[in-house]
Chains A and B, each alone.
Chain A
């Protein structure tokens, strides 16, 4: 019975991971065809870095992820501190509003933002994509910082004021140092989610400004080329490492 259970669990995990593993292995295949293994090679990775479209998309993806993480961390940390100090009713309202972007399907979030940009006649591109990314990142930053605030002694901030600190001084010298682990986790999460996003980017940018996800999508609709394999494999590994790191952080913080 015990072995049966383990076999079952193993099969499920195989189902979840085989496609990814195969994709990664294939990206090292020297031949163009996936039909047979023609030896180990980094040729597709080389081509990846020669393709100006891909390099451009890479730059857009990474720079947006960094900027979105930065802005959403500042916005989200301040918001978490404010929401934490609110009275019950406004706090409940804020948490509900904050939940909207997380619970709404990505496609609806994407479309609603797209309508906003069209309605206000802001041309879709880099800036609109950045704004959209900040929007969906902030709730997760708040979610990472909030538990740290709740763990804090509820009198810490008041103790600082009591000792002569202005609210700003207390923010930088007492609250922020104490919640810093949560802030860093939030920033990492925001960065990862931003790298990871496809749907919302897809609706909030123009075909001229593509990040890696939208580029992969537009290419994949025509069939998968080996360079796309390599690119996907690369993204998988980066995301996997980032996610494991975030996960480890939240785990150790809970303990």
Chain B
């Protein structure tokens, strides 16, 4: 399955890296003349370098190289035109002869194909919709639970926290079995005389699955901020003559912005990157950016892996950018942003 060879310099780099690390530790020990507590972290420093930093660099490396290991920007050109690499790979003379035979690029399957960029835009749109729905559904729920007079609030919040950690795959499957042709909903519909409907394998099912999976990520940060908010603030506002509605949008709403931003990021990011929700609930008919990346890496064609890396890199940059945005809006992490 793999034709990759570790280049000779690869071993050298790895050896040099390890040597550099050990030297650093040694220098630290020498400088401090003895064992100091920060050294307890050194095994993990090595681990982070090996399994976090180097893999990230590898994604970058593969993005900028072709299967032979030469530097190239083709993988990013593929982002705009998914046939770019294929067209480049074909012998120009051969191509000319095909064209001379009257075949067009379309016939050869080599015409410009914007599937990658289109899929990204489509994923962003789906994620945006999902975020908007989660915000509309989640804000009121968080607000109700954060009400000081609602004694059950803190208990109910746990019911929102637990799904945040729970296997998304399993939850997607639960949703899938609910929507199936002979699932519960269809049974109820039939009993009501509406008749069975095709509920799976369409956009709505994917969107439903996304909202279902990510809604808790919107509720929790907003609840956190609202809950910590000094209730005396709203009392003060009322005292100053605000009615309930004014108090809400003049005091509560602006103060809950960090939680909302946190929630938006926490829903939007996984929504952009998901691949199995669309696979299971969309039945392969709905392709998101995550599916595209997955497909690239399932492919046996080596070229595709480099393209997949480039797509992953683009996704990584997207995520980092939105995280940067989050830091700006909620610098203290009040929203409990990253759990």
In this complex, the member of B52, B53, B56, B305 whose beta carbon has the largest number of chain A beta carbons within 10 angstroms is B52
Check: B141 CB closer than 8 A to any chain A CB. Answer: yes
Asked if B174 and A23 make an inter-chain contact with CB atoms under 8 angstroms apart, the answer reads: yes
Q: Tell me whether A116 is interfacial, beta carbon within 8 Å.
A: yes
> In the complex, what residues of B have CB within 8 A of residue A5's CB?
144, 147, 150
Residues on A with beta carbons closer than 8 Å to the beta carbon of B2: 118, 121
Complex contact B141–A138 (CB within 8 A): no
The residue on B at minimum CB distance from A12 is B141
Residues on A with C-beta less than 8 A from B37 are: 81-82, 84-85, 157, 167
Bound-state Cα–Cα, A134 to B176, Å: 31
Contact of A107 among B38, B215, B275 (CB under 8 A): B275
B177 at the interface (CB under 8 A from A): yes
Question: What residues on B are CB-neighbors of A13 within 8 Å?
Answer: 156, 159
A to B contact number (C-beta, < 8 Å): 230
Min C-beta distance of B235 to chain A, whole Å: 19
Tell whether, in the assembled complex, residue B167 and residue A244 are in contact, meaning their CB atoms are under 8 Å apart. no
Q: Which of A39-47, A177-185, A235-243 contacts B (4 or more CB under 8 A)?
A: A235-243
Min Cβ gap A132→B in Å is: 8
Provide the residues of chain A in CB contact with B5, threshold 8 Å. Answer: 121
The answer, yes or no, to whether A171 is at the interface (CB within 8 Å) is yes
User: In the assembly, what is the distance between CA of A226 and CA of B294, in Å?
Assistant: 27
**Please, which residue of chain B has its CB at the minimum distance from the CB of A111?**
B312
Question: Which chain B positions have C-beta within 8 A of A104?
Answer: 316, 319
- Majority-rule SS of A interface residues: helix
Which residues of chain B from 39 to 57 have a CB within 8 Å of any chain A CB?
A: 39-45, 47-48, 50-56
List B contacts of A196 (CB < 8 A).
165-167
Contact partner of A105 (CB less than 8 A), chosen from B137, B144, B187, B273, is: B273
CA distance A157 to B35 in the complex (A): 13
B167 touches A198 (CB 8 A): yes
- Write out, one digit per residue, whether chain A residues 184-218 have a CB within 8 A of any chain B CB (1) or not (0): 00000000110011110001000000000100110
> With A and B bound together, what is the CA distance between A157 and B38 in angstroms?
13
Q: Contact: B40 with A108, CB < 8 Å? A: no
* B282-311 with Cβ < 8 A to chain A: 290, 293-294, 297, 305, 308-309
Docked complex Cα distance between A253 and B237 (Å): 35
Q: Are B297 and A119 in contact (CB under 8 A)?
A: no
Q: Does chain A have a CB within 8 A of B329? A: no
Interchain CB contact under 8 A, A112 and B44: no
Check if B293 sits within 8 Å of A111, measured CB to CB.
Answer: yes
A244-B162 in contact given A34-B177, A236-B170 (Cβ < 8 Å): yes
Chain B interface SS verdict (over half): helix
Which residues of A lie under 8 Å from residue B187 when comparing CB positions? 34-36
B41 contact from A83, A203, A228, Cβ within 8 A: A83
B45 surroundings in chain A (CB, below 8 A): 79, 94
Q: What residues of chain A lie closer than 8 Å to B169, measured between beta carbons?
A: 198, 213, 216-217
Residue of A nearest to B316 (CB): A108
Task: Report yes or no: B173 in contact with A116, Cβ–Cβ below 8 A.
Answer: no
Complex contacts, A82 vs chain B, CB 8 Å: 37-42, 44
User: A116 near B51 (CB under 8 angstroms)?
Assistant: yes
CA distance A112 to B183 in the complex (A): 38
Given contacts A23-B173, A23-B174, A100-B56, contact A12 B323 (CB under 8 A): no
- Does B36 sit within 8 A of A, measured CB to CB? yes
Taking a contact as CB atoms under 8 Å apart, the answer to whether A22 and B270 are in contact is no
List residues of B whose CB falls within 8 A of some A CB: 2, 4-6, 10, 35-45, 47-48, 50-56, 58-59, 62, 137, 140-141, 144-145, 147, 150, 156, 158-163, 165-171, 173-178, 180, 182-184, 187, 212, 215-216, 219, 269-270, 272-273, 275-276, 279-280, 290, 293-294, 297, 305, 308-309, 312, 315-316, 319, 323, 338
7 extra A-B contacts, CB within 8 A, seeds A75-B44, A105-B319: A97-B48, A105-B273, A108-B316, A134-B51, A167-B35, A203-B297, A243-B162
Please name 10 pairs of A and B residues whose Cβ atoms are closer than 8 Å in the assembled complex, sorted by A.
A9-B145, A12-B219, A22-B174, A34-B182, A36-B187, A85-B38, A86-B41, A134-B47, A220-B173, A239-B165
- 6 pairs of A and B residues whose beta carbons are closest in the complex: A82-B41, A85-B37, A112-B55, A79-B44, A82-B40, A105-B273
